[in-house]
Amino acid sequence: MSQPISPMTSRQRVLAALRREPVDRTPVCNPTSVATVELMDLADAFFPEANRIPEKMANLAETSYTELGFDTIMPVFSIIQESSALGCKIQWEQKDNWPTVKMREPIWRDVEDIRIPPDLLTHPDTACVTEAIRILRRRHGDEVAIIGKTMGPWSLAYHGFGVEPFLLMALDDPGKTMQVLERLKEVTIAYGLAQIEAGADALTLPDHATGDLVSADYYRRFLKELHAEFAARLPVPIILHICGRTVDRMPYIAETGMAAFHFDSKNRPDESMAAVCGHCALVGNINNPETLFARDPEQVEAEVLANLEAGIHLVGPECAIPLQTSIENLRAIPRAVRAWHSAGGGARCHHHDHSHNNG
């Protein structure tokens, strides 16, 4: 039934999986962040420098390919690079914590306050990422998929207005909220295009309209069309990332034309496959805090298998992995994927993909 597929490079494998085309084996991918303190030690690249100096950023990012055996490299470990360029106050933290926006000190109150600074793409914290992508492309050529990250307007609004004021705005004044999102979408597009030009093969687009905060109807009303516009205007595969419960909004996400959705372990692989109904690829969904961080390789392998059996297109952690995660647990992911394919799981996988392509 399934044609044997000649061996692919990591890059070919990832790009094929994002198009839901046949692959030699399921790619392993984390489109959010793979940084851990152990990897920082190995690469001699630590937070906060690895979030601010291109060379350090590239050195830490490439460990996902060189040390862990993943098929992707993602140089953006945080969600705040462009927010820094927009003027948000950042707490850069130390080796053992991610940087964040000080959302208690909002920089915007109204639509008019949002101004896209002329140095959006040349600011040190955004240019760091584009420069890191260039370095990685030079070092790794066409071997491995390099994924960039551009934040969606909903998340950018959290950073600029503060989460609670923005969520209240969405309830009180949907018209104004749309204007905010319309303005901020230009940041998403501009930063995405800059990373594509620097050599990104695909982009992660986090936009935290999660079921832990808002109903599926918010996604439909405020974001569905904007996300379709991103999929249309950004000329590489886009991986939407929303952590938390999302299965109720996956049918909408599947209609946006996004290549893939990166989903959280709060949603089962099989129900998620049913929810997107073959309209986009899924990336995920190994649990971070309970499994990758706190358990053993065997439990990690069991979750990898559940994803493979459900036909998940790219397997990996659900979100930015906890910084104290052990390398041993992370290496278990590609190992389990290879083992499953050599035991014949691959044949079932291709079959699965074909039925989706035709249906």
Cα-based torsion angle of the residue sequence 269, 155, 124, 319 in order, rounded to the nearest 10 degrees? -20
172 touches other proteins (CB under 8 A): yes
User: What tokens does 64 get?
Assistant: 């996902």
Q: What secondary structure does DSSP assign to 165-219, as a single string? A: HHHHHHHH-HHHHHHHHHHHHHHHHHHHHHHHHHT-SEEEEE----TTTS-HHHI
Choose, by CB under 6 A, the member of 47, 158, 230, 252 that binds ligand B12.
Answer: 158
Nearest-CB residue for Zn ion: 243
* Residue 105 contacts which entry, Zn ion, ligand B12, other proteins, none (Cβ below 5-8 A, type-dependent): none
- Min dist CB 45 to ligand B12, Å, is 16
* Residue 78 contacts which entry, ligand B12, other proteins, Zn ion, none (Cβ below 5-8 A, type-dependent): ligand B12
120 touches other proteins (CB under 8 A): no
**What are the residue ranges of helices labelled H in the chain?**
10-18, 37-43, 54-61, 63-66, 81-86, 124-140, 153-161, 163-172, 174-198, 216-218, 224-233, 250-254, 269-276, 297-310, 327-340, 346-358
Check: CB of residue 222 under 8 Å from CB of residue 209. Answer: yes
How far is Cα 81 from Cα 99, in angstroms, rounded to an integer?
Answer: 9
Q: Which stretch binds Zn ion (CB under 5 A): 169-177, 193-201, 232-240, 313-321?
A: 313-321
Nearer to Zn ion (CB atom), residue 216 or residue 243: 243
35 touches Zn ion (CB under 5 A): no
User: What tokens does 302 get?
Assistant: 């069991």
Site for Zn ion in 230-269 (CB under 5 A): 243
Choose, by CB under 8 A, the member of 91, 122, 342, 355 that binds other proteins.
Answer: 91
Closest CA to 57 of 169, 121, 134, 165: 134
Site for ligand B12 in 15-74 (CB under 6 A): 33
For residues 79 to 108, the per-residue mask of contacts with ligand B12, x marking binding by CB under 6 A and - elsewhere, is x-----------------xx-x--x-----
168 touches other proteins (CB under 8 A): yes
102 touches other proteins (CB under 8 A): yes
Residue 79 three-state SS? coil
Residue linked to tokens 């459900």 = 310
The answer to whether the Cα torsion of 119, 176, 258, 235 is positive or negative is: negative
Cα-based torsion angle of the residue sequence 320, 210, 129, 256 in order, rounded to the nearest 10 degrees? 120
Site for ligand B12 in 301-340 (CB under 6 A): 318-320, 322
Number of residues that bind ligand B12 (CB under 6 A): 23
Residues with Cβ within 8 Å of 205's Cβ and at least 6 positions away in sequence, in order, are 149, 150, 151, 152, 188, 192, 227, 230, 238, 239, 240, 241, 258
Choose, by CB under 8 A, the member of 171, 232, 277, 347 that binds other proteins.
Answer: 171
- Min dist CB 156 to ligand B12, Å, is 10
154 touches ligand B12 (CB under 6 A): no
Nearer to other proteins (CB atom), residue 79 or residue 337: 79
Instruction: Report the interface residues with other proteins, using CB under 8 A.
Output: 91, 93, 96-97, 100, 102-104, 163-164, 167-168, 170-172, 211-215, 218, 288-290, 293-294, 322-324
Instruction: Report the interface residues with ligand B12, using CB under 6 A.
Output: 33, 78-79, 97-98, 100, 103, 158, 163, 208, 210, 212-213, 243-244, 264, 266, 288-289, 318-320, 322
Instruction: Report the interface residues with Zn ion, using CB under 5 A.
Output: 243, 319
